Amino acid sequence: MDTFGDRRPELSYPCTWTYRLICTDETALRTAVVALMGTSEHTLEAIGASSTGRYQRLELRVHVRDEIERNDIFQALGRIEVVRFVL
């Protein structure tokens, strides 16, 4: 059983949310994130790579208005061709 049991942690919106991304092409991911986020303020920071260099890890921080927006961004990130995982 996890720390929260059957309940979800409560979030207070609006808030800053962090997505961790694992991708195969950092440049392509950066281009896709700019297209996805448009003029919304965000930061995208490289946080490492796999030992072989095949995968890159990046952290995207965005300000979200509500859970719907947070989940919409999560789904949109998952549809980017070079993204392997969104956490």
| pLDDT tens-digit readout, 48-74 | 999 999 999 999 999 999 999 999 999
Cβ atoms within 10 Å, residue 49 = 14
- At 22-40, the pLDDT tens digits run 999 999 999 999 999 999 9
Domains contained in the chain, CATH given: 15-86 (3.30.70.260)
Contact by Cβ (8 Å): 3, 9: no
Name the strand (E) or helix (H) holding 48. Answer: strand 42-49
Measured in degrees and rounded to the nearest 5, phi and psi for residue 51 equal -60, -25
Tell me the whole-structure pTM to 2 decimals: 0.88
Closest residue by Cα to residue 62 from 78, 81, 39: 39
In 3D space, the residue among 2, 48, 51 whose CA is nearest the CA of residue 22 turns out to be 48
List, for residues 13-24, the tens digit of each pLDDT value: 999 999 999 999
Q: Give the distance from CA 3 to its chain's centroid.
A: 23
